[in-house]
Amino acid sequence: MAGATLSAPTATGAALAQAAPQQATSFTGKLVIIIPYVFLLVFFLVPFFIVFKISLSQTAIAMPPYTPALDFSGGISGIVGQLRELNFDNYLFLTEDPLYLNAYITSVIVAGISTLLTLLVGYPIAYGMSRAPATLRPTLLMLVILPFWTSFLIRVYAWIGILKPEGLLNQLLMSTGIISEPLIILNTYTAIFIGIVYSYLPFMVLPLYSALEKMDYSLVEAAQDLGCPPTTAFWKITFPMSLPGVLAGCLLVFIPAVGEFVIPDLLGGSQTLMIGRTLWNEFNANRDWPVSSAVAVLLLLVLIVPIVIFQHAQARAQEQGR
């Protein structure tokens, strides 16, 4: 997405689509491309440029609370003059205050650890499902998808009652005598890990399952017949063959987890620091639109590489499916 975004910022969707002579020759054929193209340009791509633009402007006590930057009404000379006045103060501000740098680094680390944990939890489930009797598999698949249909907010909320000091987990552990003091889990990073693993588990299991289900298990059998221990056979055959699923699953968990807001806010509390919450607070509590735009631009820069890898993987999977 990144390269394309930067290389074609000014072209309009209509011009792009009309220059497509190869296949879309009829008028309706062109419309099929133009309508969603223009919509996505207006509601997905253009907003990013506005965010970038506002991240370069000054905070002002007004509505909207910023002074305009890059106003194109003044013609070319106006633009040149404005380019000189552009300032990167908001970005400087972000580098000067260690809070933001910490938030970025913490978010990436938390998302990375959570992704690994989700993989560790999800792999046995996906593997077990792929080895289940064929008649049972569609039901198992639906059972994995079903929680995904229930509200994200509700699923995160459900964990508050379980994890809090007087919550169900502590009640259980204390009544069985495993612990005598309640564990403090809510409002710590542990709670964030649990929340992310729980909420994103279906995103990990589904690509893993589809990779493992397609696999030809006679390869594993052949290896075992030739005297290869099951563990070695797993690491030498099964795991490498499931790597596309591992990659897709990890990206589907990692990218949204870095910018996650609901989980750190409800389970992590005020003592944990993650960039999604920082952006939200900067915007809603401090009403500093230019700084929150700069936070968003930098967050996007952090995520651009994984997003491009994800998009390539998607495109490749689509080519293979054809």
Partner 1 sequence: MNTTWSRFNITSVTLGFAFLYLPIVLLVIFSFNESKLVTVWGGFSTKWYVSLFQNQALIDAAWVTIRVGLISATVATVLGTLAALALTRYTRFRGRVLFSGMVFAPLVMPEVITGLSLLLLFVAVGLDRGFFTLTLAHISFTMCFVAVVVQSRLVTFDRSLEEAAMDLGASPVATFFQVTLPVILPAIVSGWMLAFTLSLDDLVTSSFTSGPGATTLPMKIYSQVRLGVTPEINAACTILIAIVATGVIIASVVNKRREVQRLRDEQAALRG
Residue 269's region, left for phi above 0, alpha for psi from -120 to 50, else beta, is left
Looking up tokens 């003592």 gives 271
Positions in 133-152 near partner 1 (CB under 8 A): 133, 140, 142-147, 149-152
**Nearest of 47, 55, 51, 61 to residue 290 by alpha carbon:** 55
User: What is the smallest separation between the CB atom of 8 and partner 1, expressed in angstroms?
Assistant: 6
- Which residues lie below 8 Å from residue 14, measured CB to CB, with a gap of 6+? 34, 38
Positions in 63-82 near partner 1 (CB under 8 A): 64
Of 95 and 150, CB closest to partner 1:
150
Positions in 205-234 near partner 1 (CB under 8 A): 205, 217, 221
CB atoms within 10 A of CB 214: 12
Residue 235 found at the interface with partner 1 (CB under 8 A)? no
Given CA atoms 299, 274, 88, 286 in this order, what sign does their dihedral have?
Answer: positive
Tokens encoding 183: 């564990």
Residue 51 found at the interface with partner 1 (CB under 8 A)? yes
Given CA atoms 9, 36, 256, 129 in this order, what sign does their dihedral have?
Answer: negative
User: What is the smallest separation between the CB atom of 159 and partner 1, expressed in angstroms?
Assistant: 6
Tokens encoding 167: 């919550």
Of 13 and 189, CB closest to partner 1:
13
Residue 242 found at the interface with partner 1 (CB under 8 A)? no
Residue 48 found at the interface with partner 1 (CB under 8 A)? yes
Decide: 189 and 261 in contact? Cβ < 8 Å. no
User: What is the smallest separation between the CB atom of 80 and partner 1, expressed in angstroms?
Assistant: 22
Of 45 and 113, CB closest to partner 1:
45
Of 110 and 144, CB closest to partner 1:
144
Looking up tokens 């806010």 gives 265
CA distance 282 to 278: 6
User: What is the smallest separation between the CB atom of 156 and partner 1, expressed in angstroms?
Assistant: 9
Residue 318 found at the interface with partner 1 (CB under 8 A)? yes
Given CA atoms 41, 47, 52, 57 in this order, what sign does their dihedral have?
Answer: positive
Euclidean distance between the first and final Cα of the chain, in Å? 22
Taking CB under 8 A as the binding criterion, the range among 74-82, 88-96, 237-245, 257-265 that sits at the site for partner 1 is: 257-265
Positions in 8-47 near partner 1 (CB under 8 A): 8, 11, 13, 16-17, 19-20, 22-24, 26, 28-29, 32-33, 35-37, 39-47
CA distance 304 to 320: 24
User: What is the smallest separation between the CB atom of 113 and partner 1, expressed in angstroms?
Assistant: 17
User: What is the smallest separation between the CB atom of 95 and partner 1, expressed in angstroms?
Assistant: 20
Q: Report the residue from 100, 104, 127, 193 that binds partner 1 according to the rule CB under 8 A.
A: 127
Q: Report the residue from 108, 162, 219, 241 that binds partner 1 according to the rule CB under 8 A.
A: 162
Positions in 259-278 near partner 1 (CB under 8 A): 259-262, 266, 276
Residue 183 found at the interface with partner 1 (CB under 8 A)? no
Residue 54 found at the interface with partner 1 (CB under 8 A)? yes
- Which residues lie below 8 Å from residue 15, measured CB to CB, with a gap of 6+? none
Tokens encoding 272: 């944990």
